[in-house]
């Protein structure tokens, strides 16, 4: 092994922050350099992720790296950790950041603040995926808010103030429960080990009573579910998606929604398994309600961006159903579906952004017959829609099929109901496609639209290739999620066996 | 054979910082009323006086390390960890506020050095208060400090708001002092208690069950007098008006010194004197904390004046600090960290306000912030750091202080308080982010008035913002200090 793994991990966390500093220090007059520089700066974390695919550790189960003494008198350390699931999500983040820099042409791509905010966001998200203890997880989880506040606040749509404040308040309200959970775990850790050690290795050796486990599971999971979002907690999501700028939407849907599910997989279930077994029925039921509800509401949308936002609720419902089923197949499916949803919703938001730049509207009824003027765009949109619906041969099918197969073992009725979500997905995606792309051009403003240029094609085609690759050869991605899913399954089986 | 001075414990080093400040103030007074002295000489005198004070505090550390906690001047003055911590914080508050106060004095119509003298006297008084073992000394220190502050609030004689602030502060402050003195006298009447350590001895001697009600009422009134100074609800009503009316250049100093001195004295009282009877006051303190959080959060959300908003935020922060102080030794150490981190943000915010609207202005409405990002990026970034620090976002000192405090509260099993405090944090994100929105995100409707940022203000703001971030990333040193303060009482 040529390069030390820990060095690469530090690069992944710190390089985006370094990039943001570089961007902020650039002279304001050379604005034409900002976007190329940003692309260059985000290629480096991306290539580190690619390099990690050649490393055997990247497939492995969770392993902890360096710990830094943070508050020595309380024994609090900041640790970093890494596993196959982290690696996949890090790769997803770095490719979406890279492509969103490539795809953005609006005026604000010339702004340092915009590019710097995205790089800071990249830093915070990488920090969440690489965190090795509860405290650093919380710190990075909250740090995501700062760049999102500015991204949505400054470069958002007309109603951005309402959407931004709602997003912040919802997330903060959720995260105080994570905070209290962290504190509670710290106090328990203090009583058993004599220090406030919160790293995952210490946590796995602590003994929680049944009551503590249930309380902690509720505290942590509630906080993460706001971010996912699960059905009754989802109302911030459509507003945030609609008002965010294109790059913000891509990252919000592609990456930030995964942070919540990642937290549940990394913290809630492995450490507080008794609580998980107690409350998973509720989560599964709510996920299925979310799947159907999101899909039905998506059918009724007149704004294409809002339609994709509600479809995200539906798709993340599948992820949560897979997680709450808690067997190997469904957990693997859930992690794969997280990556899939990142790719497809990222691509869809990017495509909506392309057409929005041309027409400055997102109402479905303003379009019609785009297939005639923009054939390449129509083909790519159709391809992505199929991936989103879950057509066999594309990535969506792999994840949803595994989730439904796995959850059928645990929740027969619920998984049967949720299968209708796939049908509804076909209705809302294809109907939207039909209204936007087929038929005659009945709006003369659509007559002179030019098709996608090379830059736009370059920024969306990598995502399409990945969708096809995962769909045709799922064994590759499955080998990266196997170990994480296996560990969670073992813990769940251990505890459910003990309870029976 | 012991000399008389050794028996009564005459030791000038112990009150060295107070003496240095009073001496400097007297020299300045002399310069002002007798001989015409140039401003630069006065400036040199003041700066050297402040550094003399800091040096005297340094000497006290030497005395402490050889003698340990001990009392001097026939048990009037106490030298312990609390007094050292308070002295250092008060000295630093004075040092950090030197430039805004100095500049404000020359904005005044008659260009007097009155304000400087009042500032020095106020710090001297509060240092005496922090040092006091005897309750009468505490009262004298508090009065010297507070009366100087009443005068500072009204120093801009032409401004109606400034006069109003001064009068309000004076009337309500005197009332609080009366309550405090009455409490002290009740304690003396019932059990002949006059000092911090005497209280402990008397309580343990007479037994917890046999403490007369008069003593308890006395202690309660003493505590209420101190709570008034830190603006804990329901004794907060003066704070918004005083903050709003007083000349902006002085508010940071006024708010910080009174808070530091009162909280340090309160911490010592709770840990040293009342350790045995804290259970009797638990309900009272819980009510004060919950009220502070509730009233502070509710009123802060509707404010349009930034200085009033910061005043109500101060009410909330007082609730946070009190919750640690009243819950035990480890909680107190967390609260002392919280206090130090909070006053850094407080001073920084008022420094920025005074840069934007001038040192002598009274009002500071939120519109004054609009377009700050376009006009001056440096100030708006520092302002955002301070506000996010108050909100308690990670990577700032606000997060670390809240984390340690809540951890300690949870370990004391005060679950209801924890949930109340955390909910107020959510509300806080609403009203702390609103000014950032106006400063950095909203497009200004009117043209933005230019801001002249002097070099010394730039450095002060930068140092304070840097401290907020540094304490958030590397809190180790200050946490160790705050634990050192209480380690003897564990």
ipTM entry: 0.88
Q: In this structure, what token pair is assigned to residue B292?
A: 């502070």
Give the start-end residues of each E strand in A142-232.
none
Tell me which H or E stretch contains A65.
Answer: strand A63-71
Question: A109: pLDDT confidence band, cut at 50, 70 and 90?
Answer: low
Is the pLDDT confidence value at A500 over 60?
no
Beta carbons of A481 and A336 less than 8 angstroms apart: yes
A146 CB neighbours in chain B (<8 A) are 388, 393
Question: A54: pLDDT confidence band, cut at 50, 70 and 90?
Answer: confident
CA distance B306 to chain A (A): 19
CA distance A248 to chain B (A): 16
Beta carbons of B337 and B401 less than 8 angstroms apart: yes
Question: What is the rounded average pLDDT of the residues B406-416?
Answer: 89
| pLDDT at position B291 | 93
Question: B218: pLDDT confidence band, cut at 50, 70 and 90?
Answer: very high
Is the pLDDT confidence value at B394 over 60?
yes
User: What is the C-alpha to C-alpha distance for residues B262 and B281, in angstroms, rounded to an integer?
Assistant: 18
User: For chain A, what percent of residues have pLDDT higher than 70?
Assistant: 98
Helices (H) and strands (E) in chain A, counts: 22, 2
A74 CB neighbours in chain B (<8 A) are 404, 407, 479
| pLDDT at position B146 | 93
Beta carbons of A337 and A319 less than 8 angstroms apart: yes
| pLDDT at position B242 | 93
Tell me which H or E stretch contains B245.
Answer: helix B238-245
Question: Mapping DSSP to helix (H, G, I), strand (E, B) and coil, where does residue B236 land?
Answer: coil
Tell me which H or E stretch contains A312.
Answer: helix A304-325
Question: What is the rounded average pLDDT of the residues B466-473?
Answer: 91
Among A345-349, A455-459, B342-346, name the one with the lowest average pLDDT.
A455-459
Average pLDDT, chain A: 87
Average pLDDT, chain B: 89
Is the pLDDT confidence value at B18 over 70?
yes
Q: What is the sign of the dihedral through the CA atoms of A369, A370, A375 and A380?
A: negative
User: What is the C-alpha to C-alpha distance for residues A138 and B13, in angstroms, rounded to an integer?
Assistant: 47
The nearest alpha carbon in chain B to A165 belongs to B430
* Cα distances (angstroms) measured from residue A128 to each of A42, A240, A256: 18, 21, 10
- Nearest neighbour of A187 by CB, restricted to B399, B410, B483: B410
Query: For the segment A63-100, what is each residue's pLDDT rounded down to a tens digit?
Result: 887 778 888 888 888 888 888 888 889 999 999 999 88
Q: What is the sign of the dihedral through the CA atoms of A191, A197, A201 and A204?
A: positive
- Nearest neighbour of B429 by CB, restricted to A143, A153, A172: A172
Question: B437: pLDDT confidence band, cut at 50, 70 and 90?
Answer: confident
Question: What is the rounded average pLDDT of the residues B72-89?
Answer: 89
Beta carbons of A305 and A355 less than 8 angstroms apart: no
- Nearest neighbour of A138 by CB, restricted to B394, B418, B433: B394
- Better-scored residue on pLDDT, B70 or B86: B86
B418 CB neighbours in chain A (<8 A) are 180, 183
Taking alpha carbons only, the member of A54, A39, A43, A111 closest to residue A87 is: A54
Helices (H), A57-159: 84-103, 112-130, 134-143, 145-155
User: For chain B, what percent of residues have pLDDT higher than 90?
Assistant: 49
| pLDDT at position B1 | 52
Question: Mapping DSSP to helix (H, G, I), strand (E, B) and coil, where does residue B71 land?
Answer: strand
Taking alpha carbons only, the member of A196, A197, A152 closest to residue A171 is: A152
Q: Within 10 A of B431 (CB to CB), how many other CB atoms are there? A: 22
Report field, pTM of the whole predicted structure over 0.80: yes
Quick one: DSSP state of residue B113? S
Helices (H), B361-475: 372-375, 377-391, 397-411, 415-436, 455-473
Question: B43: pLDDT confidence band, cut at 50, 70 and 90?
Answer: confident
A187 CB neighbours in chain B (<8 A) are 407, 410-411
Question: What is the rounded average pLDDT of the residues B82-96?
Answer: 93
User: What is the C-alpha to C-alpha distance for residues B460 and B446, in angstroms, rounded to an integer?
Assistant: 29
Helices (H), B157-231: 160-191, 196-206, 213-229
CA distance A155 to chain B (A): 9
User: What is the C-alpha to C-alpha distance for residues B362 and B354, in angstroms, rounded to an integer?
Assistant: 9
Taking alpha carbons only, the member of B457, B348, B382 closest to residue B99 is: B457
Taking alpha carbons only, the member of A17, A96, A79, A42 closest to residue A348 is: A96
| pLDDT at position A242 | 87
Question: What is the rounded average pLDDT of the residues A351-375?
Answer: 84
CA distance A220 to chain B (A): 15
Helices (H), B78-195: 81-96, 98-107, 114-131, 135-153, 160-191
User: What is the C-alpha to C-alpha distance for residues A175 and B455, in angstroms, rounded to an integer?
Assistant: 40
| pLDDT at position B172 | 93
Beta carbons of B389 and B349 less than 8 angstroms apart: no
CB pairs under 8 A between A and B: 78
| pLDDT at position B267 | 93
| pLDDT at position B14 | 86
| pLDDT at position B342 | 94
User: What is the C-alpha to C-alpha distance for residues B86 and B289, in angstroms, rounded to an integer?
Assistant: 23
Give the start-end residues of each E strand in A9-62.
none
User: For chain A, what percent of residues have pLDDT higher than 90?
Assistant: 23
- Nearest neighbour of B426 by CB, restricted to A74, A150, A172: A172
Give which of B431, B441, B478, B479 to mutate to test A binding, by max A Cβ within 10 Å: B441
Quick one: DSSP state of residue A3? S
Question: B260: pLDDT confidence band, cut at 50, 70 and 90?
Answer: very high
Is the pLDDT confidence value at A499 over 60?
no
| φ, ψ of residue B367 in degrees (nearest 5) | -65, -25
User: What is the C-alpha to C-alpha distance for residues B322 and B292, in angstroms, rounded to an integer?
Assistant: 10
CA distance A279 to chain B (A): 22
Q: Within 10 A of B34 (CB to CB), how many other CB atoms are there? A: 8
Longest dimension (CA), chain B: 79
| pLDDT at position A106 | 63
Q: Within 10 A of A57 (CB to CB), how many other CB atoms are there? A: 15
Side-chain half-sphere exposure of A351, counting CA atoms within 13 A: 25
| pLDDT at position A1 | 44
CB burial of B372-394 (b: ≥16 within 10 Å; e: otherwise) equals bbebbeebbbbbbbbbbbbbbbb
| pLDDT at position A32 | 76
Is the pLDDT confidence value at B266 over 50?
yes
Contact B476 A70 (CB under 8 A): yes
Query: For the segment A179-206, what is each residue's pLDDT rounded down to a tens digit?
Result: 999 999 988 988 888 888 888 888 888 8
Is the pLDDT confidence value at A261 over 70?
yes
Q: Collect all residues with Cβ–Cβ distance below 8 Å to A307 and sequence separation of at least 6.
A: A298, A301, A364, A428, A432
Question: A19: pLDDT confidence band, cut at 50, 70 and 90?
Answer: confident
| pLDDT at position A178 | 92
Beta carbons of A204 and A219 less than 8 angstroms apart: no
Question: What is the rounded average pLDDT of the residues A251-265?
Answer: 90
């Amino acid at each position: 092994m040529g390069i030390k793994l820990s060095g690469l991990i530090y690069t992944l966390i710190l390089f985006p922050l370094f990039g943001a500093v570089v961007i902020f220090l650039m002279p304001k007059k050379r604005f034409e350099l900002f976007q190329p520089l940003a692309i260059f700066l985000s290629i480096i974390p991306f290539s580190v992720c690619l390099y990690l695919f050649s490393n055997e550790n990247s497939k492995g189960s969770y392993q902890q790296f360096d710990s830094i003494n943070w508050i020595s008198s309380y024994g609090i350390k900041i640790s970093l950790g890494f596993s196959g699931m982290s690696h996949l999500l890090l790769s997803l983040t770095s490719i979406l950041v890279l492509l969103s820099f490539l795809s953005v042409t609006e005026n604000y791509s010339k702004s340092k603040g915009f590019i710097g905010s995205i790089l800071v966001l990249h830093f915070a998200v990488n920090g969440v995926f690489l965190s090795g203890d509860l405290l650093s997880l919380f710190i990075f989880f909250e740090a995501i808010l700062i760049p999102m506040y500015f991204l949505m606040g400054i470069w958002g749509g007309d109603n951005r103030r309402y959407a931004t404040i709602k997003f912040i308040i919802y997330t903060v309200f959720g995260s105080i429960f994570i905070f209290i959970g962290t504190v509670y775990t710290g106090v328990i850790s203090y009583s058993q080990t004599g220090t406030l050690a919160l790293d995952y290795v210490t946590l796995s050796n602590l003994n929680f009573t049944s009551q503590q486990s249930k309380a902690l599971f509720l505290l942590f999971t509630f906080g993460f579910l706001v971010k996912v979002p699960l059905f009754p907690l989802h109302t911030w999501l459509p507003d945030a998606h609609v008002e965010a700028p294109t790059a913000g939407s891509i990252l919000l849907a592609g990456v930030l929604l995964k942070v919540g599910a990642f937290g549940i997989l990394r913290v809630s279930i492995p450490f507080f398994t008794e609580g998980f077994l107690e409350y998973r029925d509720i989560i599964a039921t709510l996920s299925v309600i979310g799947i159907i509800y999101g899909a039905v509401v998506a059918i009724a949308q007149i704004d294409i961006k809002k339609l994709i936002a509600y479809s995200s609720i539906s798709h993340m419902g599948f992820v949560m159903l897979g997680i709450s089923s808690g067997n190997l197949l469904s957990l693997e499916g859930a992690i794969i579906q997280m990556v899939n949803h990142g790719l497809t919703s990222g691509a869809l938001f990017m495509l909506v952004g392309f057409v929005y730049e041309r027409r400055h509207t997102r109402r479905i009824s303003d379009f019609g017959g785009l297939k005639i003027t923009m054939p390449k765009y129509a083909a790519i949109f159709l391809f992505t829609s199929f991936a989103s619906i879950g057509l066999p041969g594309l990535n969506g099918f792999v994840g949803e099929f595994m989730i439904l197969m796995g959850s059928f073992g645990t929740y027969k009725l619920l998984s049967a109901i949720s299968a209708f979500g796939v049908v509804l997905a076909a209705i809302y995606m294809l109907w939207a496609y039909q209204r936007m792309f087929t038929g005659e051009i009945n709006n003369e403003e659509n007559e002179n639209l030019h098709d996608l240029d090379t830059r736009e094609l370059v920024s969306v085609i990598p995502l399409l290739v990945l969708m096809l690759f995962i769909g045709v050869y799922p064994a590759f991605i499955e080998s990266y999620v196997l170990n994480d899913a296996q560990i969670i399954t073992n813990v769940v089986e251990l505890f459910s066996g003990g309870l029976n | 054979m012991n000399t008389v001075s050794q028996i009564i414990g005459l030791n000038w080093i112990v009150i060295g910082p107070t003496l240095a400040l009073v001496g400097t103030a007297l020299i300045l007074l002399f310069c002002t009323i007798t001989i015409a002295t140039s401003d630069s000489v006065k400036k040199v005198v003041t700066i050297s006086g402040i550094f003399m004070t800091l040096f005297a505090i340094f000497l006290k550390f030497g005395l402490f390390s050889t003698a340990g906690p001990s009392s001097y001047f026939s048990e009037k003055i106490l030298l312990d960890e609390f007094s050292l911590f308070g002295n250092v914080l008060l000295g630093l508050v004075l040092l950090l506020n030197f430039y805004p106060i100095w500049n404000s004095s020359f904005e005044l119509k008659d260009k007097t050095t009155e304000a400087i003298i009042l500032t020095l006297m106020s710090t001297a008084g509060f240092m005496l208060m922090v040092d006091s073992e005897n309750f009468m000394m505490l009262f004298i220190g508090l009065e010297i400090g507070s009366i100087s502050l009443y005068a500072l609030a009204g120093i801009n004689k032409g401004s109606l708001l400034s006069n109003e602030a001064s009068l309000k502060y004076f009337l309500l402050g005197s009332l609080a002092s009366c309550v405090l003195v009455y409490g002290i006298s009740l304690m003396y009447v019932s059990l002949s208690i006059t000092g911090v350590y005497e209280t402990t001895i008397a309580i343990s001697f007479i037994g917890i069950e046999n403490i007369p009600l008069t003593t308890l009422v006395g202690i309660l009134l003493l505590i209420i007098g101190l709570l008034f100074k830190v603006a804990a609800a329901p004794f907060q009503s003066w704070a918004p008006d005083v903050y709003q009316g007083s000349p902006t250049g002085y508010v940071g100093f006024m708010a910080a010194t009174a808070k530091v001195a009162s909280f340090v004295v309160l911490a010592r009282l709770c840990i040293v004197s009342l350790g045995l009877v804290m259970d009797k006051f638990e309900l009272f303190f819980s009510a004060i904390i919950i009220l502070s959080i509730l009233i502070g959060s509710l009123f802060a959300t509707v404010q349009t004046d930034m200085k009033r908003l910061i005043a109500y935020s101060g009410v909330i922060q007082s609730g946070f600090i009190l919750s640690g102080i009243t819950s035990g030794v480890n909680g107190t150490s967390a609260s002392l960290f919280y206090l130090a981190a909070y006053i850094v943000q407080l001073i920084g915010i008022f420094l920025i306000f005074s840069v934007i609207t001038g040192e002598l202005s009274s009002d500071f409405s939120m519109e004054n912030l609009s377009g700050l990002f376009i006009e001056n990026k440096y100030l708006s970034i520092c302002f955002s750091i301070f506000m996010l620090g108050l909100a308690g976002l990670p990577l700032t000192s606000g997060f670390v202080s809240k984390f340690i405090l809540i951890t300690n509260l949870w370990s004391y099993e005060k679950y209801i308080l924890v949930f109340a405090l955390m909910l107020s944090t959510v509300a806080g994100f609403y009203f702390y982010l609103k000014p950032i929105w106006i400063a950095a995100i909203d497009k200004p409707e009117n043209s933005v008035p230019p801001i002249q940022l002097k070099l010394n203000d730039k450095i002060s703001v930068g140092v304070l913002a840097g401290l907020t971030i540094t304490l958030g990333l590397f809190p180790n040193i200050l946490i160790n200090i705050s634990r050192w303060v209480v380690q003897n009482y564990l």
